[in-house]
Amino acid sequence: MFGSMMLNGGGYQVKLQNFIYASFDICALILGVVVLINYIISKKIDSRTSRLFLTLAISAVVSSATDFLAVLALSVLGCPRWLGNLLVTVNYLAYNVMGIVFLVYAVSVIYDNLKIPKICYAVAYALFYIAVAGVVFAAVCLFKNGYYHVPKSLKFGYEIIVYGTQLTALVFALAISVIKRVRLTKIRRLNIYFFCILNIIAIAVQFFVRKIQLSNFAFVIAILLIYVTLQRPEDEIDAGSGAFNAHTFNLRGNMRIQSGNPFLIFAMELNNMTVVNSTFGLNGGNQVIREVAGRFMKLLTKRQHLYRLSGVRFAVMFDTQKEYEEFAERCKGVFDEPVSVNETELRITALACVISMPYVTNKLSEVEDLIRYYRTSVNVSEEIITADKDAIEKARRRELVDYAIQNAINNRTFEVYYQPIYSVKDKAFTGCEALIRLKDEKLGFISPDEFIPIAEQNGKIIEVGRFVIEEVCRFIKTEKLQERGITFVDINLSVIQCMHPEIINDIEETLNKYQVPRSMVNLEITETASAGSYAMLQTKLNELHSNGFTISLDDFGTGFASVEYLINFPFDVVKLDKSLVWAYMSTKKYKPILQHYMPMLHSLGTRIVAEGVETAEMVNALVELGCDYLQGYYYSRPIPKDKFLEFIKNNGEDLRLA
Ligand code: C2E
Ligand code: CA
Ligand code: CA
C-alpha cells in the first residue's frame, strides 16, 4: 500500500521499476484470487465462520489488487489522478479492515457456534471506527493535494493508525486464542498462531523497511493456509445427509460443555429404517435420510445446526429452553408428508428425546446411549421424551452390560447351567433346561433377564445363541446324556434368533458336528405380541418342526397367547409360566381357569410343563392338575454341568412321588 502512496507523493513520475515494490502484491493478488475462486465454487457450509472467511479473502484480494492497480494506473497507463486516488483509498480501506476481519474470524473459530462475548465485538468495532477515521483522513489529504504535501507529523500519525489497528487486532486475536486454547483443536490453534505471528512480523518489516510490500502477501499466505486446513466442508459435513458430521458434533458439543453454560441436545432416531433399507436397498434408505435431514434443516435458525450422529441418528444443540421449545413447535407435522422412494410413499416416524446438558449428563457419548435406551424401554411415542437422570443411569448400566456381553462373546466366558426337569409319568428326571449365565469381572453376575433383552436389541443374541447351542451339543455328546436317562435338553430361542435366516442351518450344523440327534434338542420360544412377525415366525417354526425339532411355548400365561396362537403354531409342549403356577396355588379364581385349559391343551396334543415348582405342596397340586413335567427350585436350581451330572446320578431313581 505504501507503494501507491509513494506514487502519489512522487508526482506520478515513477517508472516501471515501481513494479518491483508491488511484486509481492502481484503474487498476493494471484494467490488470493485462486483461493477466492476455489472457495466460491467449492461446496460451502453456510456458517458464521465461513462467511467471515469469505470477507477476509475478499478484503485481501481487494487490498492487493488496488495496491497493484494504483501503480499500474498511475505509473504505466497514466490514468487520471482521481482514479489513482480512488484506487488508493479503496486500498487503504481494504488493508485496514483485513486485520480486524481476521480478529472476528479468529474469535468465531474459537467460539464456533457459541455466542461471541461482547468485549470481542467492542474491540473489533472500536478498531474499525479508528481505521475508517484514518482512511477518511488519508483520502481527504489525497484528493486535496496529494499525500506527500501533508505535514510529516500528521503522516506519522496516520501510519500509527494503520499499523496500530492492524497490530492491535492481531495481538488481540493471538491473546484470545492463547487464553482460550483448550477450545481449539491443535490444527486450528496452530493456524491462528501462525496467522497472527506471520502478519505481525510482516507489518513490522513493512514499517521499518519501507520498500518491501510484504503485508498483503503475508495475509494471503496465511489465508491460503487457513483455506486448505480449516475451511474444508468435507471435514465437517456428512456427505450422505448434508448435515454436520459426528466429529463436528463432538467438537462443538465438547466446547459447550467446557464453556460451562447449560444447553440442550435434541436427539432423534428414525424408526423402521432397517425395513426401508431391506425393501428399497441402501439407496432408498439414503434417499429417506437425505429428505428427512433436509426437512429438519429447514426448521433451524442460522445458528442452529443439524448433526448426523450415526446411521439414522440426528441431533441439534440449543442455547436455551426457549429456543428448543420454538424448534419443537416447528417440528410438529414434519413427518406428515410421506417420503417418496421409487414412487412409493413411505410414512416416516422417529423416536426423539431432549437432553438437558450438563444436568442429565456431561458426556456426549451418552447421547446415543440414551436414544438406544429409550428405543427399547419406551413405546415409540409421538412426543419428544425429556431425558432424566434415572434414564441416564439405566442407559449407563445398559452400555456396561452391552460391553460385558461383547467381552463374554470374545472370550467365550458365558456359562451354561442346567435345571433338571422331572417327568411325572417316568417318575424321573428325563430332561433339563439350558440356562445361560454371565459373570462379568466388573459387574459380577448379570441375570439373563437383564442381558438377554439387551443382546436381542443389539443383535448379539445370535452369537450368544450359537454359544449356547454349541455348549449344549458338546455337553450331550461328551457326557453321553442319553445313557444317563436324559432324553431332551431345552434350549431357549428368542424370537429374534428364530427370525435369523441362518438359524436352521446353524443349529443343524452344530448338531451334526457333535452327532446329536434332533430329538434330543427341544426349542423353547417365548410367545410374542409382535403381530408384524407373526407370519414369519410361523413359517420358521413350521420349518424347524418339519425338520424334526420339538418346540415349546415358553412363559405361557404372561403374554398374549391365545388359542389361535396354540392352534397355528406347531407347539409340542406348553410351559406354564411360574407366575401363573404361583397364582394357581394362591388365588382361588385361577383354579377353574387352569383346570379348564388343561384338557384343551392335552387335546391339541401338547405336553404341559409347570415352571417355578418350589414346594412339595405345589408338586402334588400340579400333578393332580395334570402337568406332565415339573421344573423348579423344589428339585434343583439351575446348576453347572458337573453338579448337574452329580444330581442326575443321585436322583436317577427318584421316587419322591411314588
Ligand atoms: P425362562 O426361560 O422362563 O427360564 C426359567 C427361569 O426361571 C430361569 O431364570 C430359572 O432360573 C427360573 N426358575 C426356575 N425354577 C424356578 C423356581 O422354582 N423359582 C424361581 N423363583 N425361579 C425359577 P434365569 O435362568 O434367570 O433365566 C431368565 C430368563 O432368561 C429365561 O426365562 C429365559 O427367557 C432367558 N434365558 C436364559 N437363558 C437363555 C438362553 O440361553 N437364550 C435365550 N434366548 N434366553 C435365555
Ligand atoms: Ca425357558
Ligand atoms: Ca419360562
CATH number at residue 355: 3.30.70.270
- The whole-angstrom separation of Cα 48 and Cα 43 is 15
> Is the same domain home to 54 and 124?
yes
User: Given this model, what pLDDT does residue 21 score?
Assistant: 65
Q: Is residue 47 part of a domain?
A: yes
pLDDT in tens, 401-449: 999 999 999 999 999 999 999 999 999 999 999 999 999 999 999 999 9
Q: Is residue 617 part of a domain?
A: yes
Which of 215, 232, 249 represents a domain boundary (last residue)?
232
Instruction: State pTM to two decimals.
Output: 0.70
SS (H, E, C) 140-168: HHHHHHCHHHCCHHHHHHHHHHHHHHHHH
Atom of ligand 1 nearest to the CA of 497: 44
Characterize the bridge pairing of strands 306-310 and 629-630: unpaired
pLDDT in tens, 489-516: 999 998 888 888 888 999 999 999 999 9
Residues with CB under 5 A from ligand 2 (ion): 492, 524, 554
Atom of ligand 1 nearest to the CA of 524: 2
Which of 232, 267, 290 represents a domain boundary (last residue)?
232
Grid cell listed for 528: 410374542
Cβ-contact 147, 9 below 8 angstroms: yes
> Is the same domain home to 184 and 221?
yes
> Is the same domain home to 206 and 245?
no
User: Given this model, what pLDDT does residue 446 score?
Assistant: 97
Task: Determine if ligand 1 sits within 6 Å of the CB of residue 557.
Answer: no
User: Given this model, what pLDDT does residue 91 score?
Assistant: 87
Task: Determine if ligand 1 sits within 6 Å of the CB of residue 253.
Answer: no
Identify the CATH number of the domain in which residue 133 sits.
1.20.1070.10
Nearest-CA residue for ligand 1 atom 35 is 448
Grid cell listed for 620: 402334588
Task: Determine if ligand 1 sits within 6 Å of the CB of residue 435.
Answer: yes
Residue written as grid cell 415352571: 611
- Residue 600, C-beta contacts closer than 8 angstroms, at least 6 positions apart: 563
> Is the same domain home to 472 and 348?
no
User: Given this model, what pLDDT does residue 10 score?
Assistant: 40
Which of 202, 232, 262 represents a domain boundary (last residue)?
232
Cβ-contact 525, 498 below 8 angstroms: yes
User: Given this model, what pLDDT does residue 148 score?
Assistant: 62
- The whole-angstrom separation of Cα 336 and Cα 333 is 5
Nearest to 120 by CA among 177, 172, 196: 172
Task: Determine if ligand 1 sits within 6 Å of the CB of residue 632.
Answer: yes
Nearest-CA residue for ligand 1 atom 11 is 638
Residue written as grid cell 436381542: 456
Atom of ligand 1 nearest to the CA of 436: 38
Q: Is residue 162 part of a domain?
A: yes
Query: What DSSP string describes 435-481?
Result: EEEEEETTTEEE-HHHHHHHHHHHTTHHHHHHHHHHHHHHHHHHTTG
Task: Determine if ligand 1 sits within 6 Å of the CB of residue 82.
Answer: no
Task: Determine if ligand 1 sits within 6 Å of the CB of residue 468.
Answer: yes
> Is the same domain home to 274 and 343?
yes
> Is the same domain home to 122 and 192?
yes
Atom of ligand 1 nearest to the CA of 633: 18
Ligand 1 pocket test, pick from 433, 611, 617 with the greatest ligand atom count within 8 Å of Cβ, gives 611
Residues with CB under 5 A from ligand 3 (ion): 554-555
Ligand 1 pocket test, pick from 415, 489, 492, 553 with the greatest ligand atom count within 8 Å of Cβ, gives 492
**Kind and range of the H or E element at 395?**
helix 389-411
User: Given this model, what pLDDT does residue 532 score?
Assistant: 57
User: Given this model, what pLDDT does residue 127 score?
Assistant: 93
- The whole-angstrom separation of Cα 92 and Cα 159 is 11
427 three-state secondary structure: coil
Q: What is the DSSP letter of 182?
A: G
User: Given this model, what pLDDT does residue 259 score?
Assistant: 82
User: Given this model, what pLDDT does residue 17 score?
Assistant: 57
Among all bound ligands, the one having the nearest atom to the CA of 453 is 1
> Is the same domain home to 241 and 212?
no
- The whole-angstrom separation of Cα 343 and Cα 345 is 6
> Is the same domain home to 579 and 477?
yes
> Is the same domain home to 528 and 379?
no
> Is the same domain home to 589 and 449?
yes
Please state the domain count of the chain.
Answer: 3
Among all bound ligands, the one having the nearest atom to the CA of 435 is 1
Weakly modelled stretches of the chain, pLDDT under 70: 1-21, 43-45, 113, 147-150, 210-212, 379-381, 528-532, 559-562, 652-658
Which own/partner pairs from 562-570 qualify as long-range (CB within 8 Å, at least 24 positions apart)? 563/600, 565/527, 566/601, 566/604, 566/606, 567/604, 568/538, 569/537, 569/538, 569/541, 570/541, 570/542, 570/545
Identify the CATH number of the domain in which residue 507 sits.
3.20.20.450
What is the residue range of 415's domain? Answer: 398-648
- The whole-angstrom separation of Cα 311 and Cα 288 is 12
Nearest to 648 by CA among 515, 483, 425: 483
One-letter amino acid of 80: P
